[in-house]
Amino acid sequence: MDYKRLAEMLYKNVTLTPEYFFEKYPERNLAPGAEVTRTAPSPTGYYHTGGLFGAMIDKLVALKTNGIFYLRIEDTDQKRQVPGAADVAYNMLCKFNTKPDEGFMGEGKKQVGEYGDYVQSKRQEIYTAFAKRMVELGRAFPCFCNASEGKEDIKIRREKQLEESDEIIDKDPCRNLDIATIELNLKMGKPWALRLYSNGDPEKTYEFTDLIKGKRTLHENAKDIVLMKSNGIPPYAFAHVIDDTLMHTSIVVRGEEWWPSLNAHLEIFRALGIKPPKYAHTPVVCKIDEKTGTKRKLSKRYDPEADTRYFIAEGYPTVAINEYLLNLLNSDFENWRKANPDLPYTDFPFSIKKISSSNPMFDLVKINDISKNIISKVPAKKLLREIVDWANEYDTQLAKVLLAHQEMAERLLAIDRENARPRKDIGHFSEVKRLFCYMFNEFYDNSTSLVFDDKYSKSDIVNLLKEYVKVLNLDESKEQWFDTLKQCAFVCGYADMKTYKQSPESYKGNIADASNIVRVAITGRTNTPDLYEIIKLLGKEEVLNRLEFVISSLK
């Protein structure tokens, strides 16, 4: 076979060569040990939490080695394209503290770096140059099978193959077409895709070292995978090889789902005579499927938290997500955090080697805990500003109300805050309304909020509240105030904790019960910050109104 001639037939207008591009994109001038990493999402509408998981590794490795972390947009599948999605990816990376040093910086913005374009759809002349070379090398051939006509065809063919035998046919029949037939097909205008002429033997194996998985044996690739689709655009594999070579990625961090196709990628590198980068195949972030009870990959369709925007919309501090993800990556992070409560997480001695190779289960409860700790350390003024900023975008009603009662809101948030052991009640900002609704008449409806514990009888509640209404005095100090509440409780048959414990049957309840009744009557909740502070913020008139309402509605 005359490969040179075949190459001319297939790519007669292609004049640029790989050598031209090797020269155009020379080796990076970086300090020894500096690693070049990248995240390469496809713009399909959202940025996946699993993507951020990997980007954390990329960013941290680049940071630790004084290297480069860049963003490349993999938009070679036009069908799945969603307008604006590349911006989403870039914005999410920025929000989640993994801003790229180089690459795509947003739609219409100037890209940063000398190795662009960083959007694959703009790199067509590069891909064709390498495609032509593959043909010249005798390592690629045109395939005229009409699998491209619809996804269904491929699906059916595949399922049929799976049913009929254990084996999927690797070698494509078109590899044996003679040049005359090819020429004829071309003349007839038949659509064609370019396939790798694989010369691997799946029986043979070789050693490969992955940065996370360690030393492994791989089978040689035998699949004549597609290098250029019939629309002339390369699918992932070929674009990956070319881009990461030309952009000089030193470590490719990607999900474990790529592991099975690694041997094919390596075969392309070898065919082209290019040294492949180092690889780090990360575990896949999973979740328990509520319906089936089984473990599965975090999926956008079923799990809102698979979309990084979810955490923004729910009002989590983005660092909380970073720290959680880092904890999944290197589980000793927690211990480090405990020992270094005030250092930025980027100071943590992160190591790729410490990444476990089993798939972690995504745990929102744990995130909430991390988040609560982080939020608890934010001073009230700053916290209010953060909540309002969030609410401006996601809950304008809340934003309005908070601004209308700005001073009160700030005092509310200041309760038990800015001290050595701050209160930890806010996990994310979308909880704020529910948590503090009783402070704002715009949100509070006491007729639906009365949830007294069943153990208190209506008459007991009414008696206590009636008594309390008589003595309520907001000019008292906290000690005096509580003393008044206590006296009032005693009159109604409640005792202080110690006395109560000695003979519970002699009393209606203890002081905690009495406080609980008053708290629920005023706020509708069993859990609020310090009641004294709440009452002062609410004002005497409002508190009396609420108490009277409860008394009358329980009578």
Partner RNA sequence: GGUCCCAUCGUCAAGCGGUUAAGACAUCACCCUUUCACGGUGAAGUCAGCAGUUCGAAUCUGCUUGGGAUCACCA
Using CB under 7 A as the binding rule, the residues of this chain from 291 to 320 that contact RNA are 294-297
Binding residues for RNA restricted to 186-215, rule: CB under 7 A:
191-193, 213
When asked if residue 151 is in the footprint of RNA (CB under 7 A), the reply is yes
Beta carbon nearer to RNA, 69 or 395: 69
Tokens 């909380």 identify what position? 320
* Beta carbon of residue 158, minimum distance to RNA (angstroms, whole number): 4
* Beta carbon of residue 20, minimum distance to RNA (angstroms, whole number): 24
E strand segments, 122-185 = 140-143
* Beta carbon of residue 484, minimum distance to RNA (angstroms, whole number): 10
Beta carbon nearer to RNA, 3 or 259: 259
Q: With CB under 7 A as the contact rule, which of the stretches 219-227, 244-252, 437-445, 449-457 interacts with RNA?
A: 219-227
Strand order in 193-196's β-sheet?
140-143, 193-196, 226-228
Classify residue 106 as left (phi > 0), alpha (psi -120 to 50) or beta: left
* Beta carbon of residue 78, minimum distance to RNA (angstroms, whole number): 9
d(CA 47, CA 250) in angstroms, rounded, equals 23
If you write DSSP's letter for every residue of 67-98 in order, what string do you get? -EEEE-B----GGG--TTHHHHHHHHHHHTT-
Binding residues for RNA restricted to 367-426, rule: CB under 7 A:
369, 416, 421-425
Binding residues for RNA restricted to 82-141, rule: CB under 7 A:
none
Instruction: Tell me the per-residue interface mask from 152 to 181 with RNA, x by CB under 7 A, - otherwise.
Output: --x---x--xx---xxx-------------
Instruction: Tell me the per-residue interface mask from 423 to 442 with RNA, x by CB under 7 A, - otherwise.
Output: xxx-----------------
Q: Which of 229, 278, 309, 400 binds RNA (CB under 7 A)?
A: 229
Residue type, 150: G
Q: Which of 15, 66, 199, 231 binds RNA (CB under 7 A)?
A: 231
Neighbour count for residue 24 (Cβ, 10 Å): 12
The 8-class DSSP code of residue 212 comes to T
Q: With CB under 7 A as the contact rule, which of the stretches 16-24, 59-67, 89-97, 476-484 interacts with RNA?
A: 476-484
When asked if residue 257 is in the footprint of RNA (CB under 7 A), the reply is yes
Q: Which of 3, 25, 259, 269 binds RNA (CB under 7 A)?
A: 259
Binding residues for RNA restricted to 32-91, rule: CB under 7 A:
40-42, 74, 76-77, 80
Q: With CB under 7 A as the contact rule, which of the stretches 124-132, 179-187, 223-231, 268-276 interacts with RNA?
A: 223-231
Q: Which of 15, 66, 146, 447 binds RNA (CB under 7 A)?
A: 146
| Tokens matching residue 280 | 């780090």
Beta carbon nearer to RNA, 395 or 513: 513
Beta carbon nearer to RNA, 12 or 498: 498
Q: Do residues 242 and 52 lie in contact, with contact meaning Cβ atoms separated by under 8 Å?
A: no
Which of 207-215's residues contact partners 24+ apart within 8 Å by CB, and which partners? Answer: 208/262, 208/266, 210/279, 210/280, 210/281, 211/251, 211/278, 211/279, 211/280, 211/352, 211/353, 212/280, 212/281, 212/282, 212/283, 212/352, 212/353, 212/355, 212/357, 213/259, 213/281, 213/357
Could you give the 3-state DSSP secondary structure of residue 492?
coil
**How big is the site for RNA, counted in residues (CB under 7 A)?**
91
* Beta carbon of residue 492, minimum distance to RNA (angstroms, whole number): 15
Binding residues for RNA restricted to 489-528, rule: CB under 7 A:
496-497, 511-512, 515-516, 519, 526-528
When asked if residue 455 is in the footprint of RNA (CB under 7 A), the reply is no
* Beta carbon of residue 371, minimum distance to RNA (angstroms, whole number): 11
Q: Any idea of the CA torsion for 501, 504, 506, 508, to the nearest 10 degrees? A: 110
* Beta carbon of residue 25, minimum distance to RNA (angstroms, whole number): 20
* Beta carbon of residue 23, minimum distance to RNA (angstroms, whole number): 27
d(CA 467, CA 475) in angstroms, rounded, equals 18
When asked if residue 532 is in the footprint of RNA (CB under 7 A), the reply is yes
Residue 37: name the closest of 58, 51, 54 by CA: 58
Tokens 């009160």 identify what position? 408
Q: Which of 10, 56, 143, 177 binds RNA (CB under 7 A)?
A: 143
Burial class (CB in 10 A: 0-12, 13-18, 19+), 164: exposed
Give the DSSP H/E element, type plus range, for residue 158: helix 151-164
Q: Which of 286, 426, 472, 522 binds RNA (CB under 7 A)?
A: 286
Q: Which of 479, 503, 541, 555 binds RNA (CB under 7 A)?
A: 479
Q: With CB under 7 A as the contact rule, which of the stretches 177-185, 310-318, 363-371, 536-544 interacts with RNA?
A: 363-371
* Count of residues in the chain: 555
Tokens 């860049």 identify what position? 70
If you write DSSP's letter for every residue of 228-273 in order, what string do you get? E-TTS---HHHHHHHHHHHTT-SEEEEEGGGGGGHHHHHHHHHHHT
When asked if residue 184 is in the footprint of RNA (CB under 7 A), the reply is no
